[in-house]
Chains A and B, each alone.
Chain A
Amino acid sequence: MAASNPGMDEDVFAQFLDQLDRYVRERLLPAEPDVIANDKVPDDILEEMKEMGLFGLTVPEEHGGAGLNTSQYAQVVYTMAYAAPAFRSIFSINVGMFNSALKNGGTPEQQAEWWPRIAGGEIACFGLTEPGSGSDSAAMQTTAKPDPDGNGWTLNGTKRYITNAPHADVALIMARTEKEALPKNAHVSAFLVPMDTPGVSTGSPDKKMGQAGAHIADVMLDDVHVPGDALLGGETGKGFRFAMMSLDNGRISVGAASAGYARRALDSALKYATERKAFGEPIANFQLIQQMLAESETEIYAAECMMRDVTARVDRGENTIRQAAAFKVFASEMCGRVMDRVVQIYGGAGYLAEYDAERFFRDARIYRIYEGTTQILQLQIAKHMLRDFQANV
């Protein structure tokens, strides 16, 4: 694993986080109705976010980014997640999975090429899932075949549920470079594919339950030719490993987003409960309402503590596959429970689209699904528990 990562200077980071918190409250929250009405992050806000440096948070400083470590990155995600999820989603792949794969697997030339570009605001997407496969790479259909003349690859296949695909400038595409499934997923390689490469197209954005303004779509690869240096790391057979290393990072990001959004919803419920009256007094005076508030506060606090712990471990260079999965499972499930209580505290108003609780509830549902469902992560956690136990018997 990597050596410990001190990240950015603490006082500079504190100043930035302070600015960001203000930006979220003064700019992003008032823009939420616009995002929902137009299913789009407004262009001027997107530009501001790029200028603020959000797209290159985790990119090393010498490559045009801010060089945040994982603890700092998670705090930024948590802070951004106080606003509608679309604002975080648009830069999440840049600073999360794409950056992580480039860091873990990219050659120095690939890093020098792509880091400044994504830090400058080019949008990245990450293509692993397919119509017929997700975490089970053996079933992956997308292929990359070496060109007969030597130095290059031709990609064919379809990637599904690809976040930011309609806006992306570059995709990291997982494709099989061997016909037969090999142990340790060595049949899968990763490719850096500019989205304007001939043969690359995207489907129309999928209609979703929530998260207005954030878009997912299919990415179709039809005889897409890329040069030899598009192969991540310059070696075949390592793509899935890079992808898996990136997933840890993605899980921490979703956990942080779950905690931040749960905090937002609880603040909103707290306000509502002190304003809404029943039997002549604010409903916050009733003990059963208080119970829902207290349970939510307790659970959010627990997730915040997990976030601090797992990210500190990552920054110390520990292997966190178990903790990252556990944090994501707990934070996303917790977020679901909090959103349910928030709707309940809002009562009848909680079911109406006119109030925020209803969209919090819909927006949060995906957190239990993407970057590994609760169920597959539970399997992973248990697998590692059992493996460790047996190794020590």
Chain B
Amino acid sequence: MKILVPVKRVIDYNVKPRVKADGSGVDLANVKMSMNPFDEIAVEEAIRIKEAGKAEEVIAVSIGPAKAQETLRTALAMGADRAILVETDDEVEPLGVAKILKAIAEEEEPGLVILGKQAIDDDSNQTGQMLAALMNRPQGTFANTVEIEGDSVTVKREIDGGLETVKLTMPAIVTTDLRLNEPRYASLPNIMKAKKKPLDTKNPADFGVDIAPRLKTTNVSEPPVRQAGEKVEDVDALVAKLKALGVA
């Protein structure tokens, strides 16, 4: 079985993002970029499944600028076998990504597509669901545990009330939640080996799908700065304040 793992190059989670002065987006000039943390969890899960002898090949794929190669190299260093870069400098929305992934999946025929539940830059949380719908395959989103038995995969999903267990017939789509696993740190020998692993570069045009954006960003602004609190003398003063603020 093959596992396809889409990974996205995003602003590093340790970086405090700054909005461009003209409000057109987040300033990415000279900002550290890394693999989306949820995608790292997806790569780790795929490698673990392979290490357990339940998959033969892990293919990482990224859609983005030439620099997304670095993100793919990270996936290869962690243990993916080969990588595909679909190179574009344009913004590709979740629907466009899902369409490209569908085309790749039809070519590669993976038993599982494991992807992050969302990317930390736009927090869309749509790609996995859209891919499942386009391919008409079962989906297990927000995975907390993933277990493979024969031709089915059991996914425990993190939902508001707790955990929900679903059993999917493969091929299937799984999206990862934060607690699924703790991704490994790539070792130096594996980083060295990753350089020699194959990395194919393609263009969106190769897949003949329409990835034109459906949405227009009109304005991006910083979140409001949190106001300092106020100390009150006693309960009466507190109640008076709350009433004055109209919250009680």
CB distance from B214 to the nearest CB of A (A): 35
**Segment of A45-53, A321-329, A385-393 engaged in the interface with chain B:** A45-53
Determine if A15 and B187 form an interchain contact, defined as CB atoms under 8 angstroms apart: no
B185/A15 in contact, CB under 8 A: no
Q: Can you list 11 contacts pairing A with B, beta carbon distance less than 8 Å?
A: A8-B192, A12-B192, A15-B74, A16-B186, A19-B77, A19-B186, A27-B185, A52-B185, A52-B187, A53-B187, A66-B188
With A and B bound together, what is the CA distance between A27 and B183 in angstroms? 12
Residues of B within 8 A of A19 (CB): 77, 185-186, 191
- Tell me if A54 is interfacial: C-beta within 8 Å of chain B: yes
With A9-B195, A15-B74, A15-B77 in contact, do A48 and B188 touch (Cβ < 8 Å)?
Answer: no
B residues near A (Cβ < 8 Å) are 70, 73-74, 77, 185-189, 191-192, 195
Q: How far is the CB of A107 from chain B (nearest CB, A)?
A: 26
What is the CA–CA distance of A303 and B185 in the complex, to the nearest angstrom?
A: 29
Q: Residues of A contacting B77 with CB < 8 Å?
A: 15, 19
Q: Are A57 and B192 in contact, with the CB atoms below 8 A?
A: no
Contact assessment for A53 and B188 in the assembled complex, using a CB-CB cutoff below 8 Å: yes
Beyond the given A15-B74, A15-B77, A23-B185, please list 10 additional residue pairs across the A-B interface where CB-CB is below 8 A: A11-B195, A12-B191, A12-B195, A19-B191, A22-B185, A48-B185, A53-B188, A53-B189, A57-B188, A66-B188
**A54-B185 contact, Cβ under 8 Å, with A9-B195, A15-B77:** no
Contacts of B187 in A (CB 8 A): 51-53
A61 on interface, CB distance cutoff 8 Å: yes
Q: Which of A31-57 contact B (CB under 8 A)?
A: 48, 51-54, 57
**Candidates A11, A23, A48, A66; contact of B189 at CB < 8 Å:** A66
Interface centre among A53, A57, A61 (most CB of B within 10 A): A53
Q: Which residues of B contact A12 (CB under 8 A)?
A: 191-192, 195
Top 4 A-B pairs, shortest CB-CB distance: A53-B188, A52-B187, A66-B188, A23-B185
Find the B residue at minimum CB distance from A14: B70
Interchain CA distance A9-B192 in the complex, whole Å:
9
What are the residues of chain A within 8 A of B188 when measuring CB–CB? 16, 52-54, 57, 66
A51 to B192, CA, bound (A): 13
A16 / chain B contacts, CB cutoff of 8 Å:
186, 188, 191
Q: Which residues of A contact B192 (CB under 8 A)?
A: 8, 12, 61, 66
Q: Which residue of A lies closest to B78 (CB)?
A: A19
Give the distance in Å from the alpha carbon of A54 to the alpha carbon of B186 in the complex: 12
Query: When chains A and B are docked, how far (Å) is the Cα of A23 from the Cα of B184?
Result: 10
Residue of A nearest to B32 (CB): A18
Is A15 a contact of B70 with CB atoms below 8 Å?
yes
With a CB–CB cut-off of 8 A, which chain B residues contact A52?
A: 185, 187-188
Cβ-closest chain B residue relative to A25: B14
CA distance A61 to B74 in the complex (A): 20
Chain A residues near B191 (CB-CB < 8 A):
12, 15-16, 19
Give Cα A163–Cα B73 distance, bound, in whole angstroms. 37
Q: Tell me the bound Cα distance from A61 to B77 in angstroms.
A: 17
Across-interface contacts of A11 in B (CB, < 8 A): 195
Docked pose: A27 CA to B189 CA in angstroms? 20
Q: Which residue of A lies closest to B189 (CB)?
A: A53
Interface centre among A8, A12, A22 (most CB of B within 10 A): A12
CB of B80, distance to nearest CB on chain A (Å): 14
A286-326 interface (Cβ within 8 A of B): none
For A27, list chain B residues within 8 Å (CB).
185
A9 to B74, CA, bound (A): 15
